[in-house]
Amino acid sequence: MNPFRRPLIAGNWKMNAGGQEACVLANAVAEKTRRADRVDVVVAPPFTAIAAVAHEIEETRGSIDVDEGFGVGVAAQNMHHLASGAFTGEISAPMLRDAGATWVILGHSERRQHFHETDHGVALKAKAALEAELRPIVCVGETLGEREGGETLAVIERQVRAFMAHFAESPGFGVVAYEPVWAIGTGKVASPEDAQIVHARIRELLAEVSEEVAEATRILYGGSVKGDNAVGLLEQVDIDGALVGGASLDADGFTKIVDAAQAVAEKLAEEEGAPPSRERAAVEEEARELEALDADAASDARDAGQLIAVDGPVDAPTSMSVPPTSNAATGIDPATDLDDAVDHRDV
């Protein structure tokens, strides 16, 4: 990641959770990720649940006492490139906007593979999404055969060139997701170094559109991302987030990935000298308060000691022997590592 691009973690629910369970999952994601104020979080339910999920998220937002930085966006998983017409069974970008989606995943490899979507078709959709102010997450990625044939970068180049010019008008509005097909749903994840090579190449291609587009566009990695492999990937300079399939169906598993992004973003921001995030500031404030309480306790203990010295030895109450670095009332050690506090927070 890079301190100047806000990370994005998007969950692709695929053909799952299309009814009431979508609201339960969306609510859990919204609740559990509410403190990740350095991360954009998006969920992509099936079409049938978009309106209900958008409504659920709005309700959750209203019930949470946090506004700045909070929010879960809703994405569709596909759309037609025309706004309306005789296309039975299709859904258009304006319809998605009306339903409450603000994002759309385009050209996912499952659509390219099973529904014969082409580079040209994906580009038409990207253009239509941008025109409708729906933020496209355009997926690219090589198959195992293409990788083994040494064609990875050529395939990526062809796929990115097909749509990249459409990103010119609003740098940063569109997103690219690099998803090696062999890593999707297989448990095999690209090594951070291999993924970084492809991401860097994608950014180079975007620079042909403009430097601004290259710098502003977030490039996500997708393919078996989980809580335990996310940090290594997200630490790569050109990996700006993740598109998550399987792990996004479990709110806790998904939240671990969001937390990983928050932790990496926090570290980068600190290195840049940026003020701490709201969450980190709250943890630091709590530590300061505990230190102040302990200082008071220590000073009380000293006063009591002086009295004892003046009045002669008496049995001091055990609470006076509390060491100044621990808090007797809470049992919390203010010296607790703040990183641990962030990582293991109860949200």
Catalytic residues: 108, 179
Binding segment (CB under 6 A) for ligand PEP, from list 200-208, 242-250, 261-269, 316-324? 242-250
Lay out the site mask for ligand PEP across 254-283 (x = CB under 6 A, - = otherwise): ------------------------------
Q: Tokens at residue 237, please? A: 């300079």
When asked if residue 9 is in the footprint of ligand PEP (CB under 6 A), the reply is: no
Determine which residue in the list 245, 277, 280, 297 makes contact with ligand PEP, applying CB under 6 A. 245
Closest distance between ligand PEP and the C-beta of residue 107, in Å?
11
DSSP lists the bridge partners of residue 140 as 178
CA-based end-to-end distance of the chain: 24
DSSP state of 92: B
Question: Angle 173-73-54 (CA atoms, 0-180°, nearest 5)?
Answer: 135
Q: Tokens at residue 17, please? A: 């959770």
- Residue 27 half-sphere exposure, CB side, CA atoms within 13 Å? 12
Angle between helices 20-32 and 251-271 (to 10 degrees): 30
When asked if residue 117 is in the footprint of ligand PEP (CB under 6 A), the reply is: no
DSSP lists the bridge partners of residue 105 as 137
Determine which residue in the list 160, 243, 263, 264 makes contact with ligand PEP, applying CB under 6 A. 243
Give the residue among 98, 1, 112 at the shortest CA–CA distance from 54. 98
Determine which residue in the list 225, 260, 264, 283 makes contact with ligand PEP, applying CB under 6 A. 225
When asked if residue 42 is in the footprint of ligand PEP (CB under 6 A), the reply is: no
When asked if residue 175 is in the footprint of ligand PEP (CB under 6 A), the reply is: no
Nearer Cβ to ligand PEP, position 16 or 327? Answer: 16
When asked if residue 230 is in the footprint of ligand PEP (CB under 6 A), the reply is: no
DSSP state of 135: E
When asked if residue 222 is in the footprint of ligand PEP (CB under 6 A), the reply is: yes
DSSP state of 276: P
Lay out the site mask for ligand PEP across 123-152 (x = CB under 6 A, - = otherwise): ------------------------------
Instruction: Enumerate residues 10-39 that contact ligand PEP by CB under 6 A.
Output: 12
Binding segment (CB under 6 A) for ligand PEP, from list 33-41, 126-134, 218-226, 304-312? 218-226
Nearer Cβ to ligand PEP, position 60 or 248? Answer: 248
When asked if residue 241 is in the footprint of ligand PEP (CB under 6 A), the reply is: no
Q: What are the phi and psi torsion angles at 295 (to 5°)?
A: -65, -40
The answer to whether 195 touches 152, Cβ cutoff 8 Å, is no
SS3 9: strand
Q: Residues binding ligand PEP: what is the number (CB under 6 A)?
A: 13
Distance from the Cα of residue 268 to its chain's centroid: 15
Q: Tokens at residue 16, please? A: 């799952």
Helix, strand, coil shares of the chain, percent, nearest 5, are 50, 10, 35
When asked if residue 185 is in the footprint of ligand PEP (CB under 6 A), the reply is: yes
Determine which residue in the list 92, 224, 229, 236 makes contact with ligand PEP, applying CB under 6 A. 224
Nearer Cβ to ligand PEP, position 34 or 108? Answer: 108
- Given the rule CB under 6 A, which residues bind ligand PEP? 12, 179, 184-185, 222-225, 243-247
